[in-house]
Structure formats: C-alpha cells, structure tokens
Amino acid sequence: MPRFSSTPDLDLLFRPRSIAVAGASTNVDSPGHDYLESLKAQGFTGPIYPINPRAEEVAGLKAYPRLADVPGQVDLVISCVPASAVLELVEHCGERGVRFLHLFTGRFSETGDDDAANLEREIAASAAARGIRILGPNGMGLYHPAGGLSFRPDLPTESGSVAFLSQSGNNAVEVITRGNARGLKFGKVANYGNGLDVTPGEMLRYLADDPETSVIGAYVEGVPDGRGFFEGLSAAAAQKPVVVHKAGRTAAGARSAASHTAALAGAAELWSTVLRQAGAHEARNQEQLLDLMLGAALLPRATGRNIAVVGGGGGRSVQSADACEENGLTVVPLPDDVREKVRERAPQLAGWIGNPVDQSILAGSGLSSNGLLELMLQSDRYDLAIANVGEDWFFGRPDAGDRLKHACNRLAEICEKSPKPVAVVLGATETSNREHRQLVDDVRDQFTTRGIAVYPSVERAAFSLGRLTP
Amino acid sequence: MPRFSSTPDLDLLFRPRSIAVAGASTNVDSPGHDYLESLKAQGFTGPIYPINPRAEEVAGLKAYPRLADVPGQVDLVISCVPASAVLELVEHCGERGVRFLHLFTGRFSETGDDDAANLEREIAASAAARGIRILGPNGMGLYHPAGGLSFRPDLPTESGSVAFLSQSGNNAVEVITRGNARGLKFGKVANYGNGLDVTPGEMLRYLADDPETSVIGAYVEGVPDGRGFFEGLSAAAAQKPVVVHKAGRTAAGARSAASHTAALAGAAELWSTVLRQAGAHEARNQEQLLDLMLGAALLPRATGRNIAVVGGGGGRSVQSADACEENGLTVVPLPDDVREKVRERAPQLAGWIGNPVDQSILAGSGLSSNGLLELMLQSDRYDLAIANVGEDWFFGRPDAGDRLKHACNRLAEICEKSPKPVAVVLGATETSNREHRQLVDDVRDQFTTRGIAVYPSVERAAFSLGRLTP
C-alpha cells in the first residue's frame, strides 16, 4: 500500500482549523454524538460541522446533510459512519480537499473477515490517490487540549508536554486520566487503531522535533512497518525520553491483538532488544509505563546510582533497601560527613543510624527524616533519593493530619529545591478509614500540584529511578 | 540461650485475662499511653493495670506504683520501660507469676552496641529461669480483636481468621489497614521484633493447629532459629495457605535488617528454595503479600489453569492475555459450546469474539461482559476467571454511575455463586475527577463487603491466581 516516504506535516492533524463529523448522531449514547461534545468540552475554536442527512442540529450545532454542503474549508473529518459507507466518504473528502480523515469506524481487518480486510485496502488506495491521510481505522483518534481536540468529553482540559501514542483508545483514556491524577500533563495524544496509513513510526518522527513535546509514551500492540517504527523511535529517543509499552508479547496476547487492531505482534525478547537499541525505555505494563513517564517528565536526571533513602519505620527501611538494590541502585552506607553532622545534633544516634534512615529511631532525637534527607542530599556521596512519607506511622499519633501535612509540606520544599531527583512514596490510600483516605488524597494532590513525582510503593519508585538513571 | 523444645500454649499470649502496662505514661503522644488506649479501643474485657509510680490514673484507668501493688493475677505484661529497667521488671514478673512479657522496649542488639546485646542475653536467661516467655524485644506486640488486644488505637475492631506474623510493627499496621480495606479480616497478629524467645517458627507451629486461623501471612527479615522456622513453616503450610514476605534479600537490605531487628538475613535464592520446600507462597514485597493473602482468604482453589477473561476494551484484553500467560495461566480460545451460545444471541459476533472478551465489540449486541462470563464459567473448558470492570469505559458514557453500579452488582452475583475463582479487576482510583474516584471507592467497598477479591490491576490478579493455583 502506498506510503509517504518523508514525514508530512502532521501539525495540521493536531491543529485543524475546522472539523466535520461524518455520522454525527442525535443519540447521546453514541460516538457520533460524543465527538461533538468532546470538541465543545475542549473549547475547539474553529467551526465544527456535524454531517447528518436527517437532523437540523446535533449537540447544539447546525448540521449539514452532506460534506458537500458545508460552507467552509474542512481540515479534518472524523468518521463515525459504518464501514460500508467509508469509500464514499473518502470520495467526498477528496472533492472538498480534506487533508486528514480520522476513521473511528471499525470492523475492518481486525474482525478476521476477508471482505472487511479487502475493503480496508481499497480505502487506503483511494485515500492515497486523493492525497488524504488516514488516522485509524478502528481508533479513537486525537486528544490535544492546546488545539481543542478530544475523543471523550471528560478528559482534562489542562495542557502539557507529554505526548502519547496508543493503539487502544480505552488504554489511552486510562493513561491520560491516571497520569493526570499523578501530575502528568498531556499534549498530543493519538489513537491510531489499525494504523492503516499514518503509522506510529511516522508520528514518532514528527514528535521527535515537535517543540510542544518533551516526553513521549507509546502503547503498541504491533507495528505495520517495522523499519519505519525503529527509525522513528530512534529519532525520537535521541531527542527526548521515550517509554514504550509493548503488549501482545505472549501467544494469547498476540491472538488478542490480532482481533483488536489486526496487529502482528512479535516475540517479547526481540522487542526488548529493539527498544533498547533504539534508546527507548521498555514498560511491561501500564503501571510501569505511567511510572516511567512520570519520572521522565517530573524528575531531573541523576548523574549516578548512589541513593539516599529516608522515612518509614524499620520494616520499610529494609524493604526500601531491597527494592533499590534489586533495581540497580546502590544504597551506600551513611558517609562520615553526614554522620558527623548527625553527631552534632543527636549524638546517641550517630553510631546506629544508617541508610536507609529508619524514621522510628529518630523519635525525640531532634532530627527528622526531612532533616536527614537534606543532609544526605547535600553530600557528594548521594546522586538521588527516595523519601517514604510513612503515612501509616502518622495515623497512629495524635494530630495526625496536621503533622502529616506539615511534614509533607517540608518534604515538598526539599524536593523543589533539590537539583538531584527525589521520588516521594505515599501509600495507595488502601484503608477503610475514610478520613485517612481523604488525608492521603489531599496530601498527594498537594505534591502533584507542585510537580513532585509520587509513587504508591517504594518498589515502583526504585524501579523508575533505576530505569531512568543512565 | 534456653528455649522450650515443645510448643507451649500460646493461647494465653493471645487471650490474656488481665494485662499490666509497665511504663504507662500520661503523655498522650507516647507508647506507654497508646497501649492503654489500644486495649480500651478494642474493648479488652479483663482488668488493665497501668504501672506508674507518679500517677493516680493513666488514660482514665487507676494506676499502680509497682507491679507488686496490682490486686489480681496478671497474665501479660506489656513493657514500655527503658532497656535499663527491664531486668528488674523481669524479677517483678517472676514474683507475680506472670507468664508472658511483651517487650515493646527496644535499643538492644539492634543498636549494634555490645553492652546492649549482652543485656538482651541476660534478660533472656533471667526470664527463662523464671518460666516467663518473652515476645520481642523491640516489637509492637499483639493485635487480636477477638481477644480485645491491639498495639494501636486505630486498628479495625472487626475480627477474622487471617493471622499475620511480622518482624516490623509499622509493616504490620500497613498490612492490617491495607488488607482490611480489601476485605482481609485479621485474627491473630504478632509483632515479634528481635524474636529473642518466642520465635516465628514456634508461632507458626501454634497457628498450624489454631482453629481460629485459616490463612497465615508472615513478614520476616531474618530468623533466630533456621531449623525451627522451617519446621513451623512446613507444619503450618501442610494445614493452610501460608504466604511469606522475606525482606533483607540484598546486601543493603540485610544491613538495614541488622540495625532494625538484629536479624541475620540470608541469600534470596536460599530463601526461595526453603519457602518452596516448606510449601509456602513467596511474596517479594508487601503488595504481593497482600495480593496472595487476599486470594488465599477469599477465593476457592482452582482445579486447573485454563482461564476465562472478560471486560475492558481491546487494549485491556491484549494486556490481560499477556499477564495471564506470563503468570503461568492458559488463555484458551473460546470453545465451540460457548461460541454456539454466542451465535444464538449475537450471530454477528460469533466468528470474531475471543478469549479475552473485548467488551468494546459487544456494544449493541445484546450480550454483555457479565453474560459472557456466565457462559464461560459454565463451560468445563475454564477453571477460573478474571473479570475486568473497565470503569474508565463507563465514565465516558451517560449515566456512568448507575450503569457501573448495575454492572458491578451483576458481576458480584456471578462471583458469589461461582464455585470457580473469579478475581475482579477495578482500577486504582487514580483520577483527578473526585466524583469518579468516589464512585470507584463505593463500588470497590461493595465488592469487599460481599467478600469478593478485587485487584487494582490485571497483572496483580493474574500473579495471584497463577501462584495460588496448584
């Protein structure tokens, strides 16, 4: 199937000046209605044209019977028409000089049906002949808050510099909402579904040089053009951090990928090698993807692997040490310069205290975890740090809420002024005590608002720091 | 140091009829106050005697200057006195015929100080000569809601049959509160700190035959007697599921364990072998510990490894398949009997639908994920199942809350009546949308109240099922 050999200007895909929605629907529980509501919710500033032969108005917008009836230029058409109506739509797009056609429409090659796969190829050929680029089919399409684009009405309107490419729309929703709750602000997101024409490799090449993008994530089930993907990935990873979650690694996963996006998924080991050679970070699941994107977006790069760990009781200290060492970080013992400073302020602890710092032995000493963290970050011996908040300890004390907020505020100040990366560990809010749950939520939101990277477990913090440190 | 060769009756340790707290304090921010408040909060029904030479009353209870002044029999003494006062306390315990002494008191061998280690040995010898068993030192002690025991005022009062042994008190707090929020109801919990006298091996032998206990978890940094531990573990694992989180696996972790509980931590591989030979499940971190305990406590055992997976969109399906296969479960394709039943109700899907079931292709077909799950569970081809709720999909629809609650209620009914294990996957509430967060919390609490096992990711569900299936 014909492809463009050089990277086209995908800017227009993410910044169309006008959009038509083919298959616009008055049914509020349908995609043909959702796309209109989504564009309105994101404040798309250009004209939006619902195409519907039977309605005067859809979602409060004046509707047009056919694309030919639309008064102005159309840069992007979003298709919610059935698969059988797409060939005709491509013709109409050609007549109106439409440059980009996003096919939300599915039921093509992913169904495993030969006729459907043939139709998909016909569509590709017809679009190519007319100079129309296709995103999809079988993909949820675009989210770009700065350009007013969205594929769901409930996605955040705040814009940032994290780009994400996804072969699965629902997966992108999860990544955007879960990432956003942790402080990841997204810019350009594209769901490319079957990847018939605009490929992930092509989008990676575009994002490599995109000044709006500082970190790139990708969810890939399979790629239509292996070489193009590798080239795009290498180009992007040379410019900015790229994290790739490759799914469909197992036989059953590959079978499922084929019926999801008609993707040809490959062997896990081969993919790991490819990602490493391209300079990308590999994530094995969505959690790792989010954790690595978060670290890449919010934390400075460490210049070495010697880690300081503070906070939590003795058990957490032991677990933190295991997690760090098992992720390739070195938990170096407390150096003499720090120990001397401890001796000045709490002589009885100087011989006992270690790295990780066990918070429970500090009680009444005049030294806090935060104080120790500051001393350790000042030492040349340490390149990066993990700070366990240890909220469960606070909940056993009087005035738990005030103390927790005070300690977290102090910790946030240390994180903000540190040139070395500090990952904060704050529990997963798994408690049946609603008051405690709320407190942890509030404190986490505080960190997140200040742009501090918070991980729900020390293992996940150590994993991310271990992978992101060169 | 002298040890009892046969298992003594630890029942009295968990069901003392009366308790004295040595070092009871009027300072509300001290352990000597906390223990009294904890016993009151758990509704301990026997007499509680605060020992304090200067106060008339502590925490609203009549105080006594010395243990000798207490009017009745004392089964258990909880010590919050300084290390230097413990030898004298042991003498007093001997004079009053006290059987169990829990030493919260720390700063012994874990400090690395020779004099402190010698004192610890002297205490052990003195207690043994007087027939007093010691729990600790340097341990938070007991939680047993049915017996009215607790070491923190804020722990759940609801009682259950999950036992937990922990070398770290704060770790136990996390395990109890996080487990409880997910539906784990704890019975006997013991924090044994340095494990000077009552060892984890001894407690495991006791719990093996304890009719109050159906599942056992343990957090171990190191064990004082390797052979005794192995024997206790084997005895317990022969009777009921046992999950062990061994920490201090790395050099830094072992160093930290030594300064935390004076534990001699061993090599990770050796421990894995020991746990496997004893028939216990190994957890590498607290998350795995909780996930495995949850599955062991709430799910029936599967009789085979063929898994049915439903729910979530196409991306989740691919990721679910990977997670299952990578955890030793077999995602068998949809068998003919189930496919025929699909054909009767939704002919257009019969050739396309697979296992995992992609929820997004069901829209408008008259078949739901729950309907498919029921059909698959009825088939002999499947031994167990994972049901992804896919809450993010609901949040994009109108009436999301009502629909989500309805679907989850239906799913809960299926779980309740299924003789095969069904693990539910419901997201980690990571969204900045407070309304959605609340909805997920409510729905999760509903499942939990009904005794259904909920995992925050499909990977964690697959890990637990993979490990727990024989």
Q: Do B321 and A253 touch (CB under 8 A)?
A: yes
| CB contact (8 A) between residue A325 and residue B153 | no
ipTM over 0.90: yes
Contacts of residue B402, defined as CB under 8 A and 6 or more positions apart, other chains included, come to: none
Each domain of chain A, given as residue ranges in start order, spans 11-296, 301-468
Q: How many cross-chain Cβ pairs, A to B, lie less than 8 Å apart?
A: 256
Residues A268-302 pLDDT 10s:
888 899 999 999 999 999 999 999 999 999 999 99
Q: What SS3 string covers A427-456? A: CCCCCCCHHHHHHHHHHHHHHHHCCCCEEC
Closest CA to A360 of B224, B171, B27, B37: B171
Topology annotation, domain A11-296: Rossmann fold (3.40.50)
Q: Determine contact: B427 vs chain A, CB below 8 A.
A: yes
Chain B, 144 to 173: residues with Cβ < 8 Å from chain A are 152-154, 156, 166-171, 173
Amino acid residing at B89: L
The mean predicted confidence, pLDDT, of chain A is: 93
Find chain A residues with C-beta within 8 A of B248's C-beta: 318, 321-322
Q: Does B84 touch chain A (CB under 8 A)?
A: no
pLDDT in single tens digits along all 470 residues of chain B? 334 434 458 999 999 999 999 999 999 989 999 999 999 999 999 999 999 999 999 999 999 999 999 999 999 999 999 999 999 999 999 999 999 999 999 999 988 889 999 999 999 999 999 999 999 999 999 999 999 999 999 999 999 999 999 999 899 999 999 999 999 999 999 999 999 999 999 999 999 999 999 999 999 998 878 899 999 999 999 999 999 999 998 888 888 888 777 766 667 888 899 999 999 999 999 999 999 999 999 999 999 999 999 998 889 999 999 999 999 999 999 999 999 999 999 998 888 899 999 988 888 888 999 999 999 999 999 999 999 999 988 888 889 999 999 999 999 999 999 999 999 999 867 788 888 888 999 999 999 999 999 999 999 999 999 999 99
State how far residue B156 is from chain A, nearest Cα, in angstroms.
9
Q: Give the sign of the dihedral formed by CA B74, CA B76, CA B80, CA B86.
A: positive
Q: Give the homologous superfamily in CATH for domain B302-468.
A: Succinyl-CoA synthetase domains (3.40.50.261)
Q: Which of A305, A322, A325 to mutate to test the interface with B (most CBs of B within 10 A)?
A: A322
Is A170 in contact with B252 (Cβ distance < 8 A)? no
B272 CB near a chain A CB, below 8 Å? no
Q: Would you call B182 an interface residue with chain A, using a CB distance cutoff of 8 Å?
A: yes
Cβ separation of B152 and A396 shorter than 8 Å? Answer: yes
Hey, how many other C-beta atoms are within 10 angstroms of the C-beta on A159? 16
Q: Which amino acid is at A97?
A: G
Q: Taking CB atoms and an 8 Å limit, are A351 and B324 in contact across chains? A: no
Q: Do A11-296 and A301-468 agree at the fold level?
A: yes
- Topology at the third CATH level for domain A301-468: Rossmann fold (3.40.50)
In sequence order, what are the beta bridge partners of A164? A189, A217
Chain B, residues 45-64, CB within 8 A of chain A, namely none
